[in-house]
């Protein structure tokens, strides 16, 4: 039986104190992250220099002793590995060359070619599996196909994923071919992370909430089910966390339908509701509002306690409902941990 707390929670064990990590725990709110990022020059170079990517992954572990480390990389490396141009505009976010037709989907690189671009990421995983403390679990990740496709189609982040919905509605067959290609690439990418030493993998479907009805089934649920089924066939025993952000009522049944070991909850979901309707299928992760790490104060402690209490009858990994923001106060993270761990 493993001793790592994250793996115990993912196996369905209820722990007296929930294990904890944070989305974007390696990030701009930490001065040591900003220093290493400056050394790398830019964000993408940081992702592709294994020594520096491993260093920023380790920084929040050293500072706070989180129970899990998440590989430092980005969900948009897959589109780049499939042949798109990718760059980040400071203060604005990602930009990509686009895919908006059947011909452009067909012109993407074959799945086997992704490792040419992504091999430095696997090296980061290998370094981390050597250097992390024994008790810390290493989480690998990828974007879910729908979320990744929204960036590939629009060439950037969009408030309502409009361009992706337009492509889907105009040419469902070509859109499905794009989802299939990203699904296959994601299986290959996550498998390689696991072979390099990732102990858990997480699928980020940040824009799942904009899929409704049959579209949610076809493009959020089904790709996740395919990826999880294949990962579990190739790597028995590796747990998977799914994050269908803003899925609302569709969080209920998501783990059961996809085979995920854990569902990560955003902070629009009421913890008491999720304890009754999602946690019955297994471990849940979440769901403190990241804004509380900016504002701090008594509300931070009372909300931490509310989340811990709401999920205290079943397996739970404490986390935020979304990533910690650059304006968060690092001391508030210590206060959050004190409130969880007592």
Ligand X SMILES: Cc1c2[nH]c(c1CCC(=O)O)Cc1[nH]c(c(CCC(=O)O)c1C)Cc1[nH]c(c(CCC(=O)O)c1C)Cc1[nH]c(c(C)c1CCC(=O)O)C2
Q: Which H or E element spans position 94? A: strand 93-96
Q: Per rule CB under 6 A, is residue 66 in the interface with ligand X? A: no
Catalytic residue among 49, 122, 151, 189: 151
Q: Can you tell me the distance from the alpha carbon of 222 to that of 215, in angstroms, rounded to the nearest whole number? A: 10
Residues 111-150 that bind ligand X (CB under 6 A): 141
| The one segment of 72-80, 178-186, 213-221, 260-268 that binds ligand X by CB under 6 A | 72-80
49 is catalytic: no
Q: Per rule CB under 6 A, is residue 93 in the interface with ligand X? A: yes
Query: To 5 degrees, how large is the angle CA 24–CA 27–CA 30?
Result: 130
74 is catalytic: yes
Q: Can you tell me the distance from the alpha carbon of 329 to that of 30, in angstroms, rounded to the nearest whole number? A: 9
Q: How many residues bind ligand X (CB under 6 A)?
A: 20
Q: Please report how many Cα atoms fall inside a 13 Å half-sphere around the Cα of residue 105, on the Cβ side.
A: 19
Q: Per rule CB under 6 A, is residue 198 in the interface with ligand X? A: no
Nearest-CB residue for ligand X:
206
Binding residue per annotation — 49?
A: no
> Could you tell me which residues come within 8 angstroms of residue 204 by beta carbon, excluding any fewer than 6 positions away?
75, 141, 142, 143, 144, 147, 243, 245
95 is catalytic: no
Residue 302-341 contact track with ligand X, rule CB under 6 A, x = bound: ---------------------x------------------
Q: Tell me the sheet residues that pair with 143.
A: 204
Least Å distance between CB 15 and ligand X? 22
Q: What sections of the chain are H helices per DSSP? A: 5-10, 31-40, 43-48, 50-64, 77-81, 102-106, 114-131, 145-154, 162-170, 172-196, 213-216, 222-234, 254-258, 271-277, 292-295, 297-310, 330-341
Q: Per rule CB under 6 A, is residue 296 in the interface with ligand X? A: no
Q: Would you say 161 or 174 has its CB closer to ligand X?
A: 161
Q: Which residues contact ligand X (rule: CB under 6 A)?
A: 23-28, 37, 43, 70, 72, 74-76, 93-94, 141, 157, 204, 206, 323
Which residue numbers belong to the known binding site?
24-28, 74, 151, 206, 322
Catalytic site positions:
24, 28, 37, 74, 151
């Amino acid at each position: 039986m493993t001793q790592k707390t994250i793996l115990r929670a993912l196996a369905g064990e209820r722990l007296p104190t929930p294990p904890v990590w944070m989305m974007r725990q390696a990030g701009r709110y930490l001065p040591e992250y900003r220093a290493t990022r400056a050394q790398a020059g830019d964000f993408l170079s940081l992702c592709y220099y294994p020594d520096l990517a491993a260093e920023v992954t380790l920084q929040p572990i050293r500072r706070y002793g989180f129970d899990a480390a998440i590989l430092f990389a980005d969900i948009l490396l897959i589109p780049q590995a499939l042949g798109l141009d990718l760059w980040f505009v400071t203060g604005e976010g990602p930009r990509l060359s686009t895919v908006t037709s059947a011909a452009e989907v067909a012109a993407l690189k074959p799945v086997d070619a992704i490792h040419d671009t992504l091999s430095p990421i696997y090296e980061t995983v290998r370094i981390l599996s050597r250097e992390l403390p024994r008790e810390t679990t290493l989480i690998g990740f990828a974007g879910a196909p729908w979320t990744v496709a929204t960036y590939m189609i629009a060439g950037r982040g969009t408030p309502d994923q409009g361009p992706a919905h337009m492509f889907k509605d105009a040419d469902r067959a070509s859109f499905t071919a794009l989802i299939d290609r990203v699904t296959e690439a994601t299986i290959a990418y996550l498998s390689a992370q696991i072979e390099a030493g990732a102990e858990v993998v997480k699928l980020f479907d940040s824009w799942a909430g904009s899929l409704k009805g049959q579209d949610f089934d076809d493009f959020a649920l089904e790709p996740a089910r395919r990826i999880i089924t294949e990962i579990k066939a190739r790597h028995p025993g590796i747990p998977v966390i799914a994050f269908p952000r803003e899925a609302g009522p569709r969080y209920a049944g998501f783990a059961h339908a996809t085979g995920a070991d854990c569902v990560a909850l955003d902070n629009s979901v009421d913890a008491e509701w999720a304890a009754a309707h999602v946690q019955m299928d297994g471990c849940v992760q979440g769901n403190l509002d990241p804004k509380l790490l900016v504002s701090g104060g008594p509300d931070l402690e009372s909300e931490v306690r509310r989340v811990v209490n709401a999920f205290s009858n079943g397996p739970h990994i404490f986390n935020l409902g979304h990533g910690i923001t650059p304006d968060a106060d690092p001391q508030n993270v210590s206060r959050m941990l004190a409130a969880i761990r007592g």
